[in-house]
Amino acid sequence: MEGLRPVRRETLEDKIYRSLRRSILEGVLQGRLVQEDLATAFGTSRIPVRDALRRLHQEGLLIMDERGGYQVAPWGPADVEEIYDLRLLLEPEALRLAVPHLTPEDLAELEALQGELEEAAQNYEVEDYVELNRSFHFNLYERSQRRRLLQFIQALWSGLPPLTPLSVAGQMERSMREHRQLLQALKEGRVEEGIEVLRQHIAHAKMAVLGRLGGKA
């Protein structure tokens, strides 16, 4: 039906993973994580907790100790610098490779996603905003048809704070404006301008995250 979006279906593991990831990135969870304690806190068996912890370990947010348990990996401004500097290298190249494969239908879909993203931001629908923002970027990068490049970018995104645009004054509005500028450049065939908009978009996000952490932007 018109105006309705598909409901995101999540497994119990997905929900636990998202909750743990957010708590780690926001500094709520630190030190050693005990599966039994987490399972009790979530009211579940150990299996979905174990699987969620494995995913977080693969993404570099957890490290394994000498007993085979998990600890929250040290995380701070230096990690933000590294993640965003790598994004600045990889994502503009993914966009450059994607442009020849973009169709009018692709651009229309991006336009629709942007409209939903702005609506989510206006209504302060945090989870929807985070997912729609990710979809906007990866709908573009997937058109690059470079599987390994996409996997590298996905890994970098997995280590980013999910709520940054909504928690830094003015960043959300700037992000919306940059998305619109990028879309307009792509529609008009101004590829290099679009790539530069994307670079600025990532650089501004980097400064916002560093500012939030109290690091040097």
* Interval 20-42 mean pLDDT: 89
Number of domains in the chain: 2
Residue 31, domain CATH: 1.10.10.10
Tell whether 5 is covered by a domain: no
pLDDT of residue 172: 82
Tell whether 199 is covered by a domain: yes
Task: Output the six-digit token pair for 154.
Answer: 């996905």
Tell whether 1 is covered by a domain: no
Tell whether 3 is covered by a domain: no
Same domain, 61 and 81: no
3-state secondary structure at position 45 = coil
Answer with the one of 21, 44, 72 that is the final residue of a domain: 72
* Average pLDDT along the chain: 87
pLDDT of residue 6: 46
| Burial class of residue 148, CB neighbours in 10 A (0-12, 13-18, 19+) | exposed
Same domain, 111 and 160: yes
Same domain, 185 and 102: yes
Tell whether 113 is covered by a domain: yes
The tens digit of pLDDT for each residue in 132-151 reads: 999 999 999 999 999 999 99
The tens digit of pLDDT for each residue in 195-214 reads: 999 999 999 999 988 887 77
Q: Write down the pTM of the prediction.
A: 0.78
Answer with the one of 24, 39, 72 that is the final residue of a domain: 72
Residue 166, domain CATH: 1.20.120.530
pLDDT of residue 68: 83
Tell whether 118 is covered by a domain: yes
Same domain, 47 and 103: no
Same domain, 139 and 208: yes
pLDDT of residue 133: 92
Tell whether 208 is covered by a domain: yes
Same domain, 42 and 23: yes
The tens digit of pLDDT for each residue in 60-108 reads: 889 998 888 999 988 788 888 999 999 999 999 999 999 999 999 999 9
Same domain, 125 and 55: no
H or E element in which residue 71 lies: strand 70-72
* In contact, 83 and 159? CB cutoff 8 Å: yes
Residue 2: pLDDT over 60? no
The tens digit of pLDDT for each residue in 149-195 reads: 999 999 899 877 665 666 677 778 888 999 999 999 999 999 999 99
Same domain, 137 and 209: yes
* In contact, 140 and 78? CB cutoff 8 Å: no
pLDDT of residue 127: 74
Same domain, 59 and 125: no
Same domain, 179 and 97: yes
What is the residue range of 67's domain? 12-72
Same domain, 81 and 155: yes
In the chain, % of residues over pLDDT 90 = 58
State how far the Cα of 111 lies from the Cα of 115, in Å rounded to an integer. 6
Residue 217's pLDDT band, with cuts at 50, 70 and 90, is: very low
Which residues have a Cβ under 8 Å from the Cβ of 29 and sit 6 or more positions away?
A: 20, 23, 72
* Interval 116-133 mean pLDDT: 86
Answer with the one of 23, 47, 72 that is the final residue of a domain: 72
Instruction: Kindly calculate the radius of gyration of the chain based on its CA atoms and give it in whole angstroms.
Output: 18
Tell whether 67 is covered by a domain: yes
Task: Output the six-digit token pair for 102.
Answer: 């973009």
Same domain, 18 and 88: no
